[in-house]
Chain A
Amino acid sequence: MKKILFIIIALGAFTYAQAQDDIVLSGKELFGSITARQIGPALMSGRITDLVGHPTNDKVLYVGAAGGGIWRSVDGGSSFNSIFDKHTQSIGALAIDPKNPDMVIWAGTGETWTRNSTSVGDGLYKTTDGGSNWQKVGFDGVDLRISSIQINPNNTDEVYVGVLGPLWGDSDKRGVYKTNDGGKTWEKLLAGKPDVGCSDLILDPNDPTILYAAFWQFRRTAWSFNSGGENSALYKSTDSGKTWNKIHNGFPKGDLGRFAIAIAPSNSTILYAAVEAKEGKGLYKSTDAGKSWEYLNKDFGLVVRPFYFSRIVVDPRNPDILLKGGLFGSISQDGGKTFKGMGRMHADIHDYWFDIHNSERLYAATDGGLYRSWNRGTTMEMVNDLPLSQFYHISVDNAEPYNIYGGLQDNGSWYGPSSSPGGIEARDWNSVGYGDGFRVYRHPEKNIIYSEMQGAQGVWRYDVEKNKTSDVKPFQEEGQPKLRFNWNAAMALSPTSPDRFYLASQFLHKSDDMGSNWKIISPDLTTNDPAKQNQEESGGISQDNSGAENHCTIFTISESPLDENIIWVGTDDGNVQVTQDGGANWINVIANIPDLPKNTWCYQVAASNFKKGSAYAVFEGHTTNDNATYLYKTTDFGKTWVSLVKDNINGFARSIQEDYESENLLFLGTEFGLYATIDGGDHWSKFTNNMPATAVHSIALQRKTSDLVLGTHGRGVIIIDNISPLRALSQEVLRKDVYFFDSKPYVMKEESGFGGGSNGSQFIGRNPSRSAQIVYYLKKRHTFGKMNIDIQDANGNKVTSIDAVKQKGINIAKWNYNMKAPKVAKGKTFSFGGFASPRVPAGTYKVVMTKGKKTYTKDIEVQYDPKSGLSSEDRKLQQETMMKLYNMTQELAYMVYELDETIDYATKVATANPKSKKKATVLTNDLNSLKETLVITTGDNYVGSAEDQLREKISNLYSVIVSNYDRPSNSQLANLKVITKRFNEAKEEFSRIKNKQVGKLEKSAFSVQMEALKVKPYDEFID
């Protein structure tokens, strides 16, 4: 029974009845219209793994990212849209069906540039509708990296796939596969070995029966990497993959590593191969389709880090021009004999794409986004619209608007605002660290920022005001062993002591003076396993001791917000240690955690906000090929632990965030997205509202705004504004048809600034809404009958109406604090100032929802911005002045309406009674003369505009008063006097004309049985 229930929860689609008939909402039902905001940034972008263009339309380009999914440009790279948000964001290879290139795209997931921090894929996908919907068509399994997809151009249902397979463990799925039916069934053509996968596969475009397959022996652990072995090899088939032969004639003997291979599309006999070897490494060329190889070159650019850079791309028109991925990228224009560097761009180049018509124009995929060249790589320009930034960690400060701090893969450390005039633009972000960036924290009180680079090679304290940086990392002292820092070294602030700063090697280092002086407050808290500390031997054939494999280190630190003496740490080799006396004594509690494989990396430990003995621990074992989710909670200082994981959570987890107010509200970041629970972990829901299935490495919760801020490894910073409604969801609430959530008083922000200078091809992060967010729950989606929301003032007068949102679950309707715009007099052109709506005064308002025959209400409180510094007297004057002009605008509108009606009446009377024609003409002329002084009666809305009249004079002043959050100036008040005088004169003149002439005209009307002049009363006209 329990099992069946469980399946239903896992399906995530049903509201079901539990034993107590509890209502459980899941997924989109729970989150309703709470929607994520992707703010990038894109200025440093992120790692791109694969590029592929449309075969006939040179404006269409696809980008596959290391952790940011798939993006399409239809304008040559000026702008991009993501098209793969629902699926794993780690892309290995892309391919476009040459016969149906607008509709059919293949995506092999799992990055193949196998660095330590690489994300994982989960199979091969295909779309047949241009990317709107994707189906998985094979190779299901976590971390099954797909290196190549080759489509037979003559029969596009025939597709070959190279499966590199998992990075972190054995697999029997590696090899070369083929489908003859567009992906329905697969046949394995050439098997790999448990640690040997297909790293590259190419099809001869001129004879699709010919294939080349590179196999690579490799393995990564958390503490080492091995590239190469006796089983790395290059194979060729000339019979569509039925039989294969090794083609090593001319290659070095002995163990080999990773190959980069390419065929010249314009001459299939020419092949290039970059070979990783102890001796004879470098570039080889074959001019006889692989029968023999000639050794050409061992430049640094050709042999550097083959696991990271093994891509050669040959000009489609010229077999002598080839590009090689590398630290800076290389180009040869003499068939591989010599190379020069590419133009300046971000380091670490993984792939290239030549324009299909013009080889001068090409693209490069780097660790820092996409670059484009118009001159064959001599100069490169960055594409500014790809928010692929790969955050390792993020944090927030307490400023208003708050800032977000974080470090990125190969892109330093940064901070930027959560909101900015005109949107969050590239120029809003500030650099605060070099190299690979990881943890960045803002001092809780001072304008000091801490940041670091890989392996704690730099630990910076940056004084923002003085623009002064100090490297404050601790060094080895007498009697101490060598300090071991993780690549992504643990740092933490203290929630209790503002100047305290923690840093961890295998020891916990504590500073109470912002890093100036350090004290070690623990023994070695790791397993200190010597077998995991031989990093100088790491790399295999090519030594690769970058520090990325440093192991047996402390990875996470958390001081309890309730007691500074309680500190938790977790280590990368699977320890969780806790002290309750500020570090004098430590207890390793790892053995108390049930069902956790030994030595599983503790990615985050977090002391609870509610109870001293409570903490959460997140473990992830993907570096041992264990992709399970591990999240535990203790309430007794680690003596006992309970798993909070449920089966519907997908992906190994790295981050946990407990709410500050509701102990049962938790957020969990996994390799494939964000999950939330409102009942302490009994049920979890995946958050998918504008939230891609990207790896959530880090989560922060801003206290003042209750904004959940996610550091993703591939899609930048993603913010879910104000998660507080999730705190209030109780069974009582869920049973109601309609429920308005309580809100703190709404503050009408009175900031206004200048921004929005970015051009159309730059990514701009959306700002949060400044409107009052009126949050309500609907038990059912409103589909039939009327539903409206009005705002009323304290006296029950309607102020305005707002757009209702009608989803099942949580809904957010927005009110911008404005009342209705005034009714403006009709003229020949528009009075632009009259489009402004005034803000309401602070006070209590009523939200009135009419839904079918029922009405639901909620009182809300609206406050002035306390930061504006305006006195209540100033505000009163502003409000009065604004409303004087507002009312004058409407009164003038009515006057002009009445005037127009009178002219219309006069025309009709003159027609009906020709004797009255003269009277009518005089009246009409007098009224038209008056009207010309009231509104513009000629010209257009642009440079053909006429001289301003009374309407424009009123609205010019009105719009300034409305948009200034300030006391009206003497000049403005003086102008009001002038306008008021003129308005009163106009009113008098209108009355005079009416009194003198309309009665006479009506008499003429009566004589031909016409009625008196009839105009709508003012209130009816205004409504």
Chain B
Amino acid sequence: MKLKITTLVVLLALGSFSYAQTVDKIIDTYFENIGGADNFRALEGISMKASVNAQGMDIPLEMVQLKGGKQLVKFELQGKKLTQLAFDGEVAWGHNFMTMQAEKQDSIATENLKRLSGDFPDPFLDYKDKGYKAELVGDETVEGVECFKIKLTKKPTIVDDKEEEDVSFYFFDKENFVPIVMQSEIKTGQMKGMVSQSTFSDYEEVDGLYFPFSMMQGLKDQPGQTIKIESITLNPEVDKLEFVFPEE
């Protein structure tokens, strides 16, 4: 009987503890747990080697993100490297799959990328300075785990011809205070209105900082596709030309 009561007390205490959390406490604990906010602030960039499994093929990916919003996603198919997305801060582009030539993204998509340029290395880092808003909206069980549900509102995003709120929901595991799921509404295209979901796992340390080495992406409640990260390099040396649209 004694044991039972103790268990209950602990559980009840945990329960009430969770409600006492504020969003900033959660975010602060998160950065403490993954290596310290200062260390993330000092990051200039990261590059990742990864792969995604598509119909039995392991497609190698190379991703680079730099402070200020420059980014690059390249993949390799049958020995050929193609750029899915490159952004030099002004122009976003990628290779057309048919012609394998570089083509610019439309101006709205590019503008929306510009607005996310403060996301590196983590949208929650100094989120208030970026003009973002974070709110603890409740508790929810996802992936079988009790989580804090945090609503993050970034700078408005442009949808067709007008601005809309850019909202995403992050689910922070109550045990480890790291996000394990992120959901957001798809704003454009045929899937507009549906909810996209990313799950994060396999957090591992890289030079003192923790990153999720596995990300499953897809639609909420439907099977997704996993990006497996093989290695991460902090502050990598990169050829800046790789980000720039190749004029003929």
Contacts and interface: CB of A to CB of B under 8 A. Distances in A.
B74 to A, nearest CB: 15
Contacts of A816: 55-56
Contact of A783 (B141, B164, B178): B178
6 contacts: A28-B141, A102-B165, A103-B165, A130-B165, A132-B169, A801-B58
A73 B193 CA distance: 8
Contact of B216 (A1, A13, A803, A836): A803
Contacts of A941: 97-100
A1017 interface: no
A835 interface: yes
A580 interface: no
A690 B176 contact: no
B194 interface: yes
Question: Which DSSP category, helix, strand, loop or mixed, fits chain B's interface?
Answer: strand
Interface in B192-224: 192-194, 199-204, 213-214, 216, 221-223
Nearest to B216: A803
B143 A35 contact: no
B137 A5 contact: no
Contacts of B176: 783-784
A309 B169 CA distance: 41
B240 interface: no
A4 B141 CA distance: 21
B58 A781 contact: no
A837 B58 CA distance: 11
A363 B166 CA distance: 30
Nearest to A18: B4
Given A75-B192, A690-B221, A783-B203, A837 B11 contact: no
Given A81-B193, A814-B223, A821 B57 contact: yes
A787 B204 CA distance: 11
Contacts of B200: 783
B233 to A, nearest CB: 18
B202 A807 contact: no
Contacts of A808: 143-145
Contact of A820 (B57, B139, B143, B204): B57
A704 interface: no
B150 to A, nearest CB: 12
Given A29-B141, A786-B213, A941-B100, A824 B78 contact: yes
B235 interface: no
A162 interface: no
B9 to A, nearest CB: 10
Given A4-B8, A17-B3, A35-B221, A760 B56 contact: no
Contacts of A786: 202, 204, 213
A830 B202 contact: no
B219 to A, nearest CB: 10
Given A28-B144, A783-B176, 19 more contacts: A4-B8, A75-B192, A81-B193, A103-B165, A130-B165, A130-B167, A133-B138, A784-B204, A787-B201, A801-B53, A807-B143, A807-B145, A819-B56, A826-B79, A831-B78, A834-B78, A837-B55, A837-B56, A893-B79
A377 B50 CA distance: 56
Interface in A778-796: 781-788
Contacts of B4: 1, 17, 19
A12 B39 CA distance: 39
Ranked nearest first, the 9 interchain pairs of A and B with the lowest CB-CB distance are A808-B144, A826-B79, A837-B56, A690-B221, A81-B193, A942-B98, A803-B226, A818-B56, A821-B57
A300 interface: no
B7 A17 contact: yes
B231 interface: no
A784 B57 contact: no
Given A129-B167, A820-B56, A826-B78, A783 B190 contact: no
Contacts of B201: 781-783, 787, 806
B180 A783 contact: yes
Contacts of B178: 783
A803 B225 contact: yes
Given A760-B190, A783-B178, A803-B226, A32 B79 contact: no
A382 to B, nearest CB: 20
Given A28-B141, A818-B55, A819-B56, A132 B185 contact: yes
Question: Which DSSP category, helix, strand, loop or mixed, fits chain A's interface?
Answer: loop
Contacts of A824: 78-79
A821 B55 contact: yes
A36 B221 CA distance: 8
Interface string A72-88: 11110001110000000
A32 B144 contact: yes
A1002 to B, nearest CB: 25
A781 B173 contact: yes
A829 interface: yes
Nearest to B56: A837
A335 interface: no
A209 interface: no
B154 interface: no
Contact of A784 (B56, B100, B167, B202): B202
Interface of A: 1, 4-5, 8, 11, 13-14, 16-17, 19, 27-29, 32, 35-36, 72-75, 79-81, 102-103, 129-130, 132-133, 689-690, 760, 766, 769, 781-788, 800-809, 814, 816, 818-821, 824-827, 829-831, 834-837, 893, 897, 940-942, 944
B55 A74 contact: no
Interface string B20-44: 0000000000000000000000000
A27 B169 CA distance: 21
B77 interface: yes
Contacts of A14: 11, 15
A79 B199 CA distance: 27
Nearest to A129: B167
B30 to A, nearest CB: 13
B244 interface: no
Nearest to A955: B78
A74 B15 CA distance: 40
Nearest to A771: B223
Interface string B72-83: 000001111000
B146 interface: yes
Interface in B81-122: 97-100
A864 to B, nearest CB: 19
Contacts of A801: 53, 58
Contacts of A783: 173, 176, 178, 180, 200-203
A782 B202 contact: yes
Contacts of A837: 55-57
A80 B145 CA distance: 30
Contacts of B145: 781, 807-808
Given A28-B141, A781-B173, A782-B202, A787 B214 contact: yes
A905 B213 CA distance: 37
A72 B176 CA distance: 36
B151 interface: yes
B142 interface: yes
A133 B137 contact: yes
Given A1-B4, A129-B167, A827-B78, A29 B144 contact: yes
Nearest to B4: A17
Contacts of B151: 129
Nearest to A944: B99
A834 B176 CA distance: 44
Interface string B158-191: 0000001101010001001010100001000010
A893 B80 CA distance: 13
Contacts of A821: 55-57
A935 B78 CA distance: 12
A832 B28 CA distance: 49
A57 to B, nearest CB: 9
Interface in B128-146: 137-139, 141-146
B7 A766 contact: no
B221 to A, nearest CB: 4
Contacts of A80: 193
Contact of B164 (A102, A785, A806): A102
